[in-house]
Each structure stands twice: as C-alpha cells, then as structure tokens.
C-alpha cells in the first residue's frame, strides 16, 4: 500500500513539472517572438533613418543644382541683355562699312574688276552679318520666325561657306552628300543655319583628339513624301551613353567652357519647324546628329 501511494505522488509531481515546463516554454516563445518583433522594428527604424538621411542628401544635392541652374539662368539673362546692346552697337559700323564699300564700287565703275569683286564680297558678308544680328534681336524679343520656302541643299551649301575658314584652321574636311531634286522646306533661314552651325561646331569639338579621318559629312535625303532628313556625321570620340539622354536638356554640357544651351536651343528651333532633332553613336566611331524637317506643302516637286 505504501508503494502505491509513493507512485501516485511521483506521477503527480511529474505532471506538475511537465505543466510548469510547458508554461515556461510558452513564456520563452512569447518573449522570443516579442524580441523578434522589437528587433524587426528597430531594423526597420534604422533602415528608415538611413533612407531618410539618404533622401536628405539627395534633396540637398537637388537644391544645390537648382540654385546653380537659377544662377546660370540669371547669367544667361544678363548675357541676353548684353548681346542685345552689342547687336545695336555693331549695326552702326556695319552700316558704315556697307556705305563705304558701295561708294567704292561706284567710284570704280567700269574699271578694276578684281577690286570691285572684292568690294562685292565685303558687301555680301556685311549684309549677311546684318541679317544675323537682326535675327538675333528678333530671337531675343521672342518674335515669330520669318518662315519662307527654302531649298535645304542651298541652305547647307551657304552654311558650309560660312564655316569653311574655321574648318580649315581646325584641319577638318567638310563633305556634303546632298540628295538631288529635293522638294523645298518651309522655315526661317537664319535659325536653321544656326542649328547647322551648332551641329558642325560640335563635330569640330568631337574631332579635337582625333589625328586621322578628321572629317564631317553633311547629308540630306528624302525619308518620305512629307519629310526630309539632314545628318551631320563626325568621326570623333562619340558620346558616352550616360550623356545621350540629357544631351538636349538646358545647361547640360560636357565642355569646360560650355553654356549648355546650343543643343537645347537647336532642338527647340527644329521642333518649332515641325521636325525632330536627335543623336546616335556610329557603329564604328563618332556620332551623328540628325533632324527631320517637313516638306513645304506648297511645293509641287
């Protein structure tokens, strides 16, 4: 009988210990779960703090960039005022040069053909410079462009003549591959020349480090019944892929002394003419700037 009582007590104590162990396990599991949750919250808090700090750094950088852009806009605005004043001052001596050259031609009427030819060159360049100044003043006043029916090939040939001296000094060969019998386009001659001059000048810069194949090829072709394409292809260093997407944005430049305005203005001019300006890297070397321009609907070619 005593042995049986001892066994019952032993079993009862074991049950108590098992129950206590289960209760303790539950407590431990609950506390472990709570610690895990708290640890997760702490990690999330630390991650959010890091994200917040990173965002603050991004915001600071963006504010600094916006401040620099604003300062740049201010400088460009001041530059526009200076250019407007300068254009007015330059117009006066240009008018005097034109008068003197025309007077010289009259005095040499019927003799000295070579000298009269030189005077005619002076008159032509004087009038072209006066037109550029007039268009510049018009552009600064945000006036409507002077849209006329134009032969794009003639426009390109005239532009090549304007920049031929610069090309010679830089030891760059300018080539033209112009499709024949293209229909006329409709546009502002001076503004489109500005676009071409800018693209060709960029080609000059791209060829600075090239010792061979220093050439720029300007070509035209008819894409379809309504559109003509113009390409300016160089054999220079090409454009880093990271820069292509932002190349036409205001104030972006890879040149140490650049304003970052040329390409953005050029794209705006082309778009105002109903076309599109873009760029691509060539398969071998260099890059090609190309733009489309609509055919003049009044042209029946």
**13-143 fold:** Helix Hairpins (1.10.287)
Confidence of residue 184 (pLDDT cuts 50, 70, 90): very high
Residue 35 CB burial class (10 angstroms; 0-12, 13-18, ≥19) = exposed
Q: Which residue has the higher pLDDT, 87 or 94?
A: 94
Ordered by start, the domain boundaries in the chain are 13-143, 148-294
HSE-up (13 A, CA, CB side) for residue 134: 13
Strand 277-281: give its sheet, edge to edge. 173-178, 215-224, 227-234, 287-294, 277-281
Q: Is domain 148-294 in CATH 3.30.360.10, yes or no? A: no
Give pTM, 2 decimals.
0.55
Residue 44 has pLDDT above 60, yes or no: yes
Q: What is the pLDDT of residues 153-181, one digit of tens each?
A: 999 998 888 788 788 888 888 999 999 98
What's the chain's average pLDDT? 77
Q: Which residue has the higher pLDDT, 75 or 279?
A: 279
Residue 2 has pLDDT above 50, yes or no: no
What are the CA-CA distances from residue 236 to residues 158, 231, 232 (Å)?
A: 24, 15, 12
Q: Do domains 13-143 and 148-294 have the same CATH topology?
A: no
Structure tokens at 99: 């008068």
């Amino acid at each position: 009988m005593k042995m049986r009582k001892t066994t019952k007590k032993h079993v009862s104590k074991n049950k108590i210990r098992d129950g206590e162990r289960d209760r303790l396990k539950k407590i431990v599991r609950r506390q472990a779960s709570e610690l895990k949750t708290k640890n997760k919250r702490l990690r999330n808090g630390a991650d959010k703090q890091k994200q917040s700090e990173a965002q603050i750094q991004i915001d600071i950088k963006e504010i600094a960039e916006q401040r620099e852009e604003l300062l740049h806009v201010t400088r460009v605005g001041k530059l526009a005022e200076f250019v407007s004043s300068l254009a007015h001052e330059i117009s006066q001596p240009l008018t005097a040069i034109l008068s003197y050259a025309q007077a010289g031609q009259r005095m040499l009427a019927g003799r000295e053909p070579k000298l009269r030819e030189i005077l005619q060159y002076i008159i032509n360049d004087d009038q072209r410079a006066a037109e550029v100044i007039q268009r510049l003043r018009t552009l600064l006043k945000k006036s409507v462009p002077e849209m006329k029916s134009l032969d794009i090939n003639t426009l390109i040939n005239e532009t090549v003549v304007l920049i031929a001296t610069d090309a010679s000094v830089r030891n760059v060969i300018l080539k033209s591959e112009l499709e024949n019998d293209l229909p006329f386009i409709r546009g502002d001659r001076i503004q489109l020349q500005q676009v071409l001059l800018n693209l060709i000048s960029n080609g000059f810069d791209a060829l600075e480090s090239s010792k061979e194949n220093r050439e720029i090829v300007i070509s035209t072709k008819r894409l379809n019944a309504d559109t003509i394409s113009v390409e300016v292809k160089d054999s220079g260093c090409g454009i880093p892929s990271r820069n292509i997407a932002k190349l036409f944005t205001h104030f972006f430049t890879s040149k140490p002394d650049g304003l970052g305005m040329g390409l953005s203005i050029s794209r705006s001019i082309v778009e105002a003419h109903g076309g599109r300006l873009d760029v691509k890297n060539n398969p071998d070397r260099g890059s090609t700037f190309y733009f489309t321009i609509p055919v003049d609907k009044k042209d029946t070619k």
